[in-house]
Amino acid sequence: MVAKPRISFEYFPPKTEAGREKLLNETTPALNELNPEFFSVTYGAGGTTRDTTLGVVSAIGATGIDVAPHLSFGGDDEETVAALLETYRERGIKRLVALRGDMPSGMGAAMQLVHANDLVGFIRERTGDHFEIEVAAYPEIHPESRSYDSDIQFLRKKLDAGANSAITQYFYNVEAYFYYLDQCAAAGIDKPIYAGIMPITNYQNLARFSRNCGAEIPRWICQRMESYGDDLDSVRKFGLEVVTQLCQTLIDSGAPGIHFYTMNQVEPTREIYNNLGL
């Protein structure tokens, strides 16, 4: 029998008060009924959402739900990051997603980005084993990587620095994920690498975003999506079919878990989840 995969749900911090209310009072209770292991909340490039991420994480955490803030140094110094870690610890947060992050748009090269392995080491140095730490992994390889193997070596470095597991960038090529797992295992990585899954709702936005983050949308999916044009209902239905099949293959083939990039929406994730009979 295939073991039930770990399920987690990712949010971004809403920009408006109405968005925040909806996320806390409607979206979270609805998604929490699906029994995820935890929720996570992203961190704006350069620490631009430091307060809103903290606010959303604290509000969800206060209801007793396990929630993980994403964190990067951004442009902050060690004491600012240490203070944020302490606040999370005081508020009962036990899990973090540790990242290098990207340069905020308009910053040029003005900011020195701190690699995720250094952040993981810093968190362990300052807070010991308090936090369960997740890091990012890239089955289709991070766009700035020198090579396929170096990206795996740097994943290993983050895990060796004390991270407990990794969550991948989203992908639609399931072979890329399983090949990556094999290569990671061959490189001595024995910690779980959970599959990041992005439901397809708005194809144009997804295509634009994917070009920047190095996630490939296979040609056959692009062709099909483009043939639907403005017929959003068909886009939604086809997206649901493709991503359900992707998740089913992952589960059948023993992926340790699935992290849904929910985009703060209930329906796409819940429909996939129900289709899978989880």
Catalytic residues: 10
- In angstroms, rounded to a whole number, what is the distance separating the alpha carbons of residues 143 and 107? 19
In angstroms, give the least distance from the CB of 175 to ligand FAD.
19
In angstroms, give the least distance from the CB of 178 to ligand FAD.
17
Residues that bind ligand FAD (CB under 6 A): 42-43, 45, 70, 97, 99-102, 115-117, 136, 142, 144-145, 150-151, 154, 157-158, 167-169, 196
In angstroms, give the least distance from the CB of 222 to ligand FAD.
22
Structure tokens at 108: 């040029």
Q: What does the DSSP assignment read for the chain?
A: -PPPPEEEEEE---SSHHHHHHIIIIIHHHHHTT--SEEEE---GGGTTHHHHHHHHHHHHHTT--EEEEE--TT--HHHHHHHHHHHHHTT--EEEE----PPTT-TT-S-PPPHHHHHHHHHHHHTTSSEEEEEE-TT--TT-S-HHHHHHHHHHHHHTT--EEEEEE-S-HHHHHHHHHHHHHTT--S-EEEEE---S-HHHHHHHHHHHTPPPPHHHHHHHHHHTT-HHHHHHHHHHHHHHHHHHHHHTT-SEEEEE-TT-SHHHHHHHHHHT-
Smaller CB separation from ligand FAD, 205 or 274: 205
In angstroms, give the least distance from the CB of 230 to ligand FAD.
30
In angstroms, give the least distance from the CB of 267 to ligand FAD.
22
Contact 41, 58 (CB under 8 A): no
In angstroms, give the least distance from the CB of 143 to ligand FAD.
7
Please give the backbone phi and psi of residue 55, each rounded to the nearest 5 degrees, phi first: -65, -45
| Cα three-residue angle 44-148-136, rounded to 5 degrees | 30
Smaller CB separation from ligand FAD, 22 or 142: 142
Structure tokens at 226: 């483009």
Smaller CB separation from ligand FAD, 99 or 235: 99
